[in-house]
Structure 1
Amino acid sequence: MAAPLLQTPRTRIRLADDADAPKLLRYRLENQAHLSSWEPLRESEYYTLAHCAKTIAEGRVHASQDRGYPLIAFDLDEQHILATFTFANLVRGAFQACHLGYGVAARMQGQGLMQEILRPGIDWAFDELDLHRVMANYLPRNERSAKLLTQLGFEREGYAKRYLQIAGVWEDHILTARVRSEV
């Protein structure tokens, strides 16, 4: 499966390559405080150039094996990372599904960027990856994610107690999914 190269009015979306490691490190460092309450605890190694290079290499392997697609939304000149999203845990066969995870730079919050990049990203997942279902889960207190996913056509499917360890605490999550419409 070929990795996507998508463009929106403000972004270019693609898999990262080796040359993007310094940009990924800058994104992680600039957004550490902003993202820390929504992510697992991170070791200090996570905020190193070596770890960023490793993450990029692993992401490219996952994509080549059709296991996951960690995509980055760069600004149009590809100098800065504005957001990230991943189609992870791909399951083929009778399920044809994945999990969607995402994050946006603090400076881009509240500007509609995630909707701008996730719409074509999800279309790509349904069309090019031939997925039937994309699942996305969020913390009950994350009102921005609740609104975003509703706007993108995700429907609530359940509530999972102590679902993921976020910032060192086992947190409940609201489970949602969007199923590809049959045309």
Structure 2
Amino acid sequence: MFMQGKQIYVKSVEESDVEALLKLEKDNRDFFQRFTGLREESFYTHQGQLERIRKAIEASKADQGYVYVIGLQDTGATIGEIMLTEVVRGNLQSCWIGYFLDQDHNGKGYMTEAVQLIVKFAFQELKFHRIEAGVMPHNLGSIQVLLKAGFHKEGIARKNVKINGTWEDHQTLAILNEADEEASSLIQRYNPSVIAPPIGPYTHVTKVARGAELLVFSGQVGTDREGNLPADMEEQVENTLANIQRVLAAEAMSADHIVKINIWAVQEIDWDHFDRVWEKFHQGKAPSMTMAYVPALAIPSLQVEIEVWAAKG
């Protein structure tokens, strides 16, 4: 398997990758060790990596697990690994995803792109229904990678993995294959394989079933329930999403009924803050969305306005 992204590529591991993987593991030994179980010294040898690769290839042939190498498009350098493990077929059709990225290449969007590519391949080619991930709660960067790739939080698994001799809690996240949803579902969200995955937490396409009732909410703004408008941009964003939730609830609807969201802002959004409140709003099922900056809104004190299209039976 070989999948090409914008900045990186992902391919199935081969014996010819042994030296590149050995270098990756040795260069990042202390960094990777913070997130995995204790490893024997033999792991950091040519023979140890070769045996690991051979086992991965056999597991792939047996549909028991899959290991992939992440490389840079421009140089071909190996910068990471991503794997699908704990494969269960039958009525579950599930697996777990894990990954490691060279410390010097963290924070550049490479792993988000790699996860998106692997999820696409796992759903379309390997026919998984559900992919799960476990991340230590303090590993916020990894959690953010998964959220941007479309995963949603499901809860905390207490003391479930021994890391460096200590049983650690893990945040459980998962993503479902939307193609497995019933055809009769009122609203179907999906990302077509003919274009690249979304660059953020949203869905490219939303399909509404015939006969549904369409509701369009006028642009919601950041006033509180008494009509007061805070000066702070972050407070306006939070109030706006809260107002949308109230309007939806009044119509016996939720974020699951949203067809499209359009957001206009007059100043640059703090994306770290927005991503947090946005994920809380849609609970891992990000709708189609357009975000734009404009010179001004109707009232000078307004800094953000959000329009919602929703549908129900």
Question: Under TM normalisation by the shorter chain, which class is it?
Answer: over 0.9
Matched, 1:165 2:162: yes
The CA deviation string for residues 102-133 of structure 1, in whole angstroms up to 9 with x for no partner, is 11101110101001111111000000011100
Matched, 1:86 2:83: yes
CA RMSD of aligned residues (A): 1.4
State the distance in 1 between where 2:155 and 2:4 align: 33
Q: What TM-score do the two structures reach when normalised by structure 2?
A: 0.56
Deviation at 1:16, TM superposition (A): 1.8
Matched, 1:126 2:123: yes
Which structure exhibits the higher relative contact order, with contacts defined as CA atoms closer than 8 Å and separated by 6 or more residues? 1
Q: Secondary structure at the match of 2:67?
A: strand
Question: Contact 2:3–2:10 at 8 Å: present in 1 too?
Answer: yes
Q: Secondary structure at the match of 1:159?
A: strand
Correspondence for 1:64: 61
Question: Which of residues 118, 140, 144 is equivalent to 1:143?
Answer: 140
Question: Contact 1:135–1:176 at 8 Å: present in 2 too?
Answer: yes
Question: Contact 1:6–1:120 at 8 Å: present in 2 too?
Answer: yes
State the distance in 1 between where 2:101 and 2:131 align: 19
State the distance in 2 between where 1:153 and 1:77 align: 27
State the distance in 2 between where 1:143 and 1:128 align: 30
State the distance in 2 between where 1:125 and 1:118 align: 10
The CA deviation string for residues 10-62 of structure 1, in whole angstroms up to 9 with x for no partner, is 32311221121111100001111111111111111110000100010000001
Correspondence for 1:32: 29
Correspondence for 1:54: 51
State the distance in 2 between where 1:178 and 1:79 align: 29
Letter in 2 for 1:136: A
State the distance in 2 between where 1:26 and 1:97 align: 31
Correspondence for 1:104: 101
Q: What TM-score do the two structures reach when normalised by structure 1?
A: 0.93
Gaps of 5+ in 1: none
Count of residues paired in the alignment: 180
The CA deviation string for residues 66-106 of structure 1, in whole angstroms up to 9 with x for no partner, is 11111111223775311111011111111000000011101
State the distance in 2 between where 1:105 and 1:8 align: 18
Question: Contact 1:12–1:78 at 8 Å: present in 2 too?
Answer: no
Q: Secondary structure at the match of 1:85?
A: strand
The CA deviation string for residues 140-163 of structure 1, in whole angstroms up to 9 with x for no partner, is 110111211111111111211111
Letter in 1 for 2:152: E
State the distance in 2 between where 1:180 and 1:102 align: 20
Question: Contact 2:131–2:174 at 8 Å: present in 1 too?
Answer: yes
Matched, 1:13 2:10: yes
Question: Contact 1:138–1:175 at 8 Å: present in 2 too?
Answer: yes
